[in-house]
Amino acid sequence: MGEAPSIFVRRSSGLVREVYPKDSFIYNIYFTAYFTALVFVYLIALYVVPAEALVPGLILSTFLFTFQVLVYSLMSIAMPRSGGDYVIISRALHPFLGFISSWNWFIWLAFWFAFGGYTFSSVALSTMFLTLGLVTGNPSLVSIGDMLAEPIPALIVGTLIMLAFLVMTSFGLGRFIKIQLITFIIGFIGILISAVYLALCDPKTYAETLNRLISQYAGTPDPYNAIINAAKGLGWGPERVYGYTAEHLIKVLPAAYLAVPWTMGTVFIAGEVSQPKRAQLIGGIGGLAFIGGLTVILAFLLEKAMGIEFFSAFSYLFYNPPQGLSIPIKPYFNTLAFLIIENPFLNIWANLGFIFLGWMYMAQNLLNDSRLLFAWSFDRLIPEKFAEVSERFKSPIYALLTVFIIAEVFLFAIIFVPELQVISSIMALSFSVIIMSLAAIFFPYRKRDLFERSGISWRVAGIPLISLLGLASLIVNLISNYYWITDPNYGAVNDISVMAMLLVIVVGILIYVLGIYRLKRRGIEPSKIYTELPPV
């Protein structure tokens, strides 16, 4: 009888620790898909709470999200291996929950990699040409912006940008980190340009600029007040602007969830992070402070520059389109902000900032998904081919290519089955966070020896700190889920989204069962795999 295969694919992962604390900071900021998601944070929040509650609600949300980010950061410090929550939950809680949670991440990261390809053309480039055409008075640029939102151009541009990210990440994480740094510097300068213009603007100046730029398209000489009046005619009023309660502040939380609490991308590549304790905390909490702070500052500046009533009214019309009023722009914060940047060079730079901080997440999704495939394969749950690492580039090439192929299928589906564009994965991702929070709660009690030597064995009044953070993170996520389920204005629950979430879980269960069956057929006892951490 032949000798049973070893538990893991090999004695070393083959991955290299080449991500340092500053790299972790930028990586985690990019992982939030910040500007892509922030567009909808403001729109949703202004639709469910009075506008005056936006800024203080965002401040409160950022504080509450600290628990979630700390859970991921500290658990990654305890188990610094690539593979995201799969390695952590499978060892701290149960292998089944570890796989289901990570499979959930895998599918939705691939979906949003594809969605990024679609919106890179239909939102990012389209907005850039549209605003540049408006501020320069060039109708041809406006037409190009409209054309880029059409299905075929979106498919072509989307595929090309996805291919670009595949090539970019295949040459190794170290090379990508250098590209990441350059784009972040350019993007941050773009943010500063936008912030300065907003800070120097007032509602009177904004109204004059808006009217001058879009009146020929809107069919009225005063689009600014026409927007406010149209909103009033559809039920918008002062109660949507002024005065708020404590519950209003809490109700900002489920909207902010789209963009703010996701500064934990390096958890997926933890085996490639140097100085893990410092890097994960700087990347996680430092990234959250940056994202949360910027979200608050931009909200304040937008309300100050445009006028809080206009900001609220225009956002209201996004959900209640008026009849007889043609507005060539949507109330996306970037479009509203860039209209006042009439210097073409600075306008392009601001748009680049929006693109880099809004779409570089595609690289993180591709990288992180490839590490999930790698980790499953390293545990022999799926074919070992996905754990192969290129000796030259130190990257799992087959895993990266597989994610790209899956995402390309999603891209076709998103473009040619428009119903998929309304899918909300926010509750699905919260499902994985809830499982991770439970893992944090029970980790010190289920894996006492590992906890004691983990470097995070701190206690408060005799209770493990990680357990308290897990409980707090669980409560915050349950609050968000309550509002998503009970208030349809958040747009988190619709038939297609619920069906998609359930389908992902069912398929994940089937793959896990087949994986366990495969292990046993090969003479490997699954329990032996999950009692120890994979090799570094």
pLDDT in tens, 352-402: 999 999 999 999 999 999 999 999 998 889 888 888 887 777 788 999 999
Other C-beta atoms within 10 Å of 296: how many? 20
Any domain includes 10: no
To 5 degrees, how large is the angle CA 120–CA 365–CA 508? Answer: 120
pLDDT for 465 beyond 70: yes
Any domain includes 307: yes
pLDDT of residue 2: 47
Type and span of the H or E element at 464 = strand 463-464
pLDDT in tens, 261-320: 999 999 999 888 888 899 999 999 999 999 999 999 999 999 999 999 999 999 999 999
Any domain includes 166: yes
pLDDT of residue 316: 96
Any domain includes 4: no
Q: When comparing pLDDT for 63 and 536, which is higher?
A: 63
Confidence of residue 13 (pLDDT cuts 50, 70, 90): low
pLDDT of residue 1: 41
Query: Angle of helix 95-119 relative to helix 151-170, nearest 10 degrees?
Result: 120
Average pLDDT, rounded, for the chain: 91
pLDDT of residue 417: 79
pLDDT of residue 112: 93
Q: Which residues lie across from 463 on neighbouring strands?
A: 460
Average pLDDT of the residues in 132-152: 90
Any domain includes 12: no
Average pLDDT of the residues in 116-140: 90
pLDDT for 5 beyond 60: no
* Number of domains within the chain: 1
Any domain includes 11: no
Q: When comparing pLDDT for 493 and 476, which is higher?
A: 476
The rounded percent of the chain whose pLDDT value lies above 70 is 96
- Alpha-helical runs (H) found in 320-462: 333-338, 344-359, 361-378, 397-416, 426-446, 448-452
CA distance 261 to 244: 24
CA distance 129 to 304: 26
pLDDT of residue 389: 82
pLDDT in tens, 215-265: 988 889 999 999 999 999 999 999 999 999 999 999 999 999 999 999 999
CA distance 114 to 159: 9
Domain with 306, as residue range(s), is 21-531
pLDDT for 418 beyond 90: no
Average pLDDT of the residues in 344-348: 93
pLDDT in tens, 41-54: 999 999 999 999 99
Any domain includes 423: yes
Any domain includes 5: no
Q: Domain containing 479 — which CATH number?
A: 1.20.1740.10
Confidence of residue 452 (pLDDT cuts 50, 70, 90): very high
The rounded percent of the chain whose pLDDT value lies above 90 is 72
